[in-house]
Amino acid sequence: MIPEMVFFLIDLFGSAAFALSGAMVACQKKADLFGVVFLAETTALGGGMIRDVLLGRFPPAMFTNWQDLNVALAMALVVFFAVLRHSETYYREEALVERINNLVDAVGLGMFAVTGCQVAAAAGYQANGFLVVFMGTITAVGGGLLRDIILGEIPFILTKYIYALAAIAGATSYYLLDRWGADSTLAAAVGICVTFVLRWLATRYKWNLPRPA
């Protein structure tokens, strides 16, 4: 029973982290109360929704896991009213906001990369490594991708330093450790850390992949 509780908590924290990050992006766009809640929920739940549709799990988990929905709502309201009260400070400290956002987002990225793999494996696809890692990655990047598409922006995954690659690396670590019989809590911890550290280092040192001049 313990691993199940572990994945429940990771999923909850991941939702909170992504909702926080989504609400901050929405506030930067000067969205209204509805927009902030909508974009926070999209960022938090969108990746899992895409994963469930691709796996054929109906209705998607967001319609039965109330805790994710509610924690994302709570984060959206906290961010919205904090920004409403201190909007001047908020918009002046843009660089700080960006840095906090990147950090929180990297935590959510690692957590969802792991829970996404876990859901795909539990659905009976353990033997298909590509499918499992893909589902981990889309769970991690899908919410932000959907939010950026709705806002009409070039998605994070195409512009941020090593964003999707960090999720792929974390999902792959988790998948391999799990296949090799490692303790699943340990495998999850390694997957989250790999994603977080890789993403953080890439942001810190502005690592880029090659591109044509």
Note the Cα 139 to chain centre separation in Å. Answer: 7
Least Cβ distance, residue 17 to its own copies (angstroms) = 22
List of residues 6+ apart from 202 with CB closer than 8 A = 161, 162, 166
Question: Considering the rule CB under 8 A, would residue 122 count as an interface residue with its own copies?
Answer: no
Least Cβ distance, residue 57 to its own copies (angstroms) = 8
3-state SS class at 127: coil
Question: Considering the rule CB under 8 A, would residue 34 count as an interface residue with its own copies?
Answer: yes
Rounded (to 5) percent helix, strand, coil in the chain: 80, 0, 20
For residue 52, which of 93, 11, 92, 101 has the smallest C-alpha distance? 11
CA distances from residue 157 to 88, 148, 166 in whole angstroms, order as listed: 30, 10, 10
Among 3, 4, 5, 32, binds its own copies (CB under 8 A): 32
Question: Considering the rule CB under 8 A, would residue 56 count as an interface residue with its own copies?
Answer: yes
Restricted to residues 136-155, the positions that interact with its own copies (CB under 8 A) are 145, 149-155
Q: Which listed range, 4-12, 111-119, 127-135, 190-198, lies at the site for its own copies (CB under 8 A)? A: 127-135
Q: Which listed range, 96-104, 109-117, 123-131, 197-205, lies at the site for its own copies (CB under 8 A)? A: 123-131
Q: Which listed range, 81-89, 176-184, 187-195, 196-204, lies at the site for its own copies (CB under 8 A)? A: 81-89
Looking at residue 126, its amino acid is Q
Number of DSSP helices (H) and strands (E) in the chain, helices first: 9, 0
Tally of CB atoms within 10 A around 1: 5
Question: Considering the rule CB under 8 A, would residue 27 count as an interface residue with its own copies?
Answer: yes
Q: Is the peptide bond before 60 cis (omega within 30 degrees of 0)?
A: no
Least Cβ distance, residue 204 to its own copies (angstroms) = 18
Question: Considering the rule CB under 8 A, would residue 205 count as an interface residue with its own copies?
Answer: no
For residue 133, which of 182, 163, 174 has the smallest C-alpha distance? 174
Q: Which listed range, 85-93, 100-108, 186-194, 197-205, lies at the site for its own copies (CB under 8 A)? A: 85-93
113 and 136 Cβ atoms separated by less than 8 Å? yes
The number of residues that bind its own copies (CB under 8 A) is 48
Site residues for its own copies per CB under 8 A: 27, 30-35, 38, 49, 53-56, 58-60, 63-64, 66, 69, 83-84, 87, 90-91, 125, 128, 130-131, 134, 145, 149-155, 157-158, 164-165, 208-213
